[in-house]
Amino acid sequence: MTVRPSSSPSDGLLSGLSGNPDVDGELDDPALLRALLDAEAALARAGADAGVLPAAAADAIVARCHAERYDPAALGRAADAAGNPVVPLVRELTAAVPGPARGWVHHGATSQDIMDTALSLVAVRALGPVLRHLDAAVAAAARLADTHRDTVLVGRTLGQQAAPTTFGLTAAGWLTGLTQARDRLRQAGDGQPAQLGGAVGTLAALGPAGPEVAARFAARLGLPATALPWHTRRQPRLDLAAALGGLLAATGKVALDVGLLARTEVGEVAEGGTGRGGSSAMPHKRNPVDSILIGAAARRGPGLVATLYAAAVQEHERAAGGWHAEWEPLRDLLHLAGGVSGRCARLLAGLRVDPGRMRANLDATGGRVLAEAVAARLAPAVGRDVAHDLVARAAAAPAFRAALLADPEIRAHLSGTEIDEALDPYRWLGSAGVFVDRALAAARAAQA
């Protein structure tokens, strides 16, 4: 058997179950190397723009800032000596440029400047496809909310049947969570800045032109500039970590609900997709695979977010280990974000909804899920506590409706027609439809 080397994080035996190829293509080692070289090229161009280094030197440096010229694996091995891959990359880049330009390579920067900036680029590039998948998930959730605005569903609290709601409102909740997660993620991505501060954040090596070079450096890369270097103030990374964690939570909520509603005993929804969800042992199984894998990713998120928050407390002008600790968990979070956004879009677009089963499950308790509605009709006559106890007594009987009709204390205040009206789930949906409409309107406004 010929063993083919993996070309992408999504090509691995396990990583394809948590990631997405179009996102992972912006996160792998070649992508990070490309971002590091883009930062070095922008640094040279910015320096030349500000008159700090010769334009010919900048041209020579930029001409050698092509990722295919360098071996990521070799750079990774060499990084052990310095603690980061920028040092060996700068050494190889310097050797590659003509002699007169060598002294201008990496001029004014420190390794952290290039690494922080490259990771901002990686994040922004990876978030492009993540947000496209999220747009598709939002659109699919909106379709479900609109289609099933008035489809009755039993609401469940603390794991038990509670009172009627609608599947449209459930989908509207998913829609709102996904829309908020998408918008916060977009904002956090837009806030990933370039970093240029030099050895201790003074840009002394660039002289008076330092602030101008930093501004031109950010502009060349299409990243925000900051008023001063942020070497040990990691709020941009914390904003991104929190937004990624929020995305994992929002998609995890969808997955958890779908998995529960798809249980054999419930059967109110099912994942679509021909040939998906099979079991190695049981031919009859149709497992909710996307829900399972989204849920697995959501469970990994909190630890990664916590690592980035723990790493954010950094000492002095530049930290020993704090910024280093961010690299892998940040890429892992972006990897998981790609997986859950794509899977959630597919899950919601293909979701099979069974309104008949939803109504049957709502009716399974013989109207007991409308006990609150009956008590609400009775309360004005006898008081809330007495009404609650009278209805609870009827709910304990084998047949709830019959017990209500047979109870003289209840019948003294409610007619049979009034009891039947109270047992109609469509009369106890409250503002469910209004809330669905609000969620749809908010999603449309966010998309505009």
Q: Are residues 67 and 185 in the same domain?
A: yes
- Asked whether residue 24 is assigned to any structural domain, the reply reads no
pLDDT band (50, 70, 90) for residue 15? confident
Q: Are residues 117 and 256 in the same domain?
A: yes
pLDDT of residue 14: 81
pLDDT tens per residue, range 35-94: 999 999 999 999 999 999 999 999 999 999 999 999 999 999 999 999 999 999 999 999
* Local structure of residue 28 (DSSP, 8 states): S
pLDDT band (50, 70, 90) for residue 4? very low
- Asked whether residue 13 is assigned to any structural domain, the reply reads no
- Asked whether residue 19 is assigned to any structural domain, the reply reads no
* Mean pLDDT over each residue of the chain, to the nearest integer: 94
Contact 327, 247 (CB under 8 A): no
| Spatial separation of the C-alpha atoms in residues 280 and 296, rounded to whole Å | 20
Active site residue 318: yes
Instruction: Using DSSP bridges, classify how beta strands 152-157 and 160-166 pair: parallel, antiparallel or unpaired.
Output: antiparallel
What's the whole-number mean pLDDT along residues 109-131? 98
Q: Whole-angstrom distance between the N-terminal and C-terminal Cα of the chain?
A: 53
Q: Residue 334 — φ and ψ, nearest 5°? A: -65, -40
| Spatial separation of the C-alpha atoms in residues 382 and 391, rounded to whole Å | 12
| Spatial separation of the C-alpha atoms in residues 123 and 119, rounded to whole Å | 6
Q: Are residues 92 and 177 in the same domain?
A: yes
Q: Are residues 324 and 401 in the same domain?
A: no
Q: Are residues 330 and 398 in the same domain?
A: no
- Asked whether residue 101 is assigned to any structural domain, the reply reads yes
Say yes or no to pLDDT of 151 above 90.
yes
Question: Tokens 């690299």 identify what position?
Answer: 327
Q: Which of 45, 125, 216, 318 is catalytic?
A: 318
Taking alpha carbons only, the member of 432, 439, 448, 442 closest to residue 165 is 432
pLDDT band (50, 70, 90) for residue 140? very high
pLDDT tens per residue, range 294-319: 999 999 999 999 999 999 999 999 99
Percent of the chain with pLDDT over 90: 92
pLDDT of residue 13: 84
CB atoms within 10 A of CB 288: 22
Domains of the chain: total:
2
Q: Are residues 324 and 392 in the same domain?
A: no
pLDDT tens per residue, range 213-264: 999 999 999 999 999 999 999 999 999 999 999 999 999 999 999 999 999 9
Domain end, chosen from 359, 377, 410, is at: 359
Say yes or no to pLDDT of 10 above 60.
no
Which whole-number Å values give the CA distances from 249 to 9, 182, 447, in the listed order? 23, 12, 21
Q: Quickly list DSSP for 84-101.
A: SSHHHHHHHHHHHS-HHH
pLDDT of residue 11: 66
Say yes or no to pLDDT of 7 above 50.
no
Q: Are residues 248 and 385 in the same domain?
A: no
Q: Are residues 138 and 56 in the same domain?
A: yes
- Asked whether residue 436 is assigned to any structural domain, the reply reads no
Q: Are residues 241 and 374 in the same domain?
A: no
Q: Are residues 164 and 263 in the same domain?
A: yes
Q: Are residues 381 and 289 in the same domain?
A: no
What is the CATH classification number for the domain harbouring 129? 1.20.200.10
Active site residue 291: no
Q: Indicate the burial class of 209 (C-beta count within 10 angstroms; 0-12, 13-18, 19 or more).
A: middle
Expressed as residue numbers, the domain containing 382 is: 368-422
pLDDT of residue 1: 37
Q: Which of 6, 279, 415, 431 is catalytic?
A: 279
Question: Which amino acid does the sequence have at 103?
Answer: G
pLDDT band (50, 70, 90) for residue 5? very low
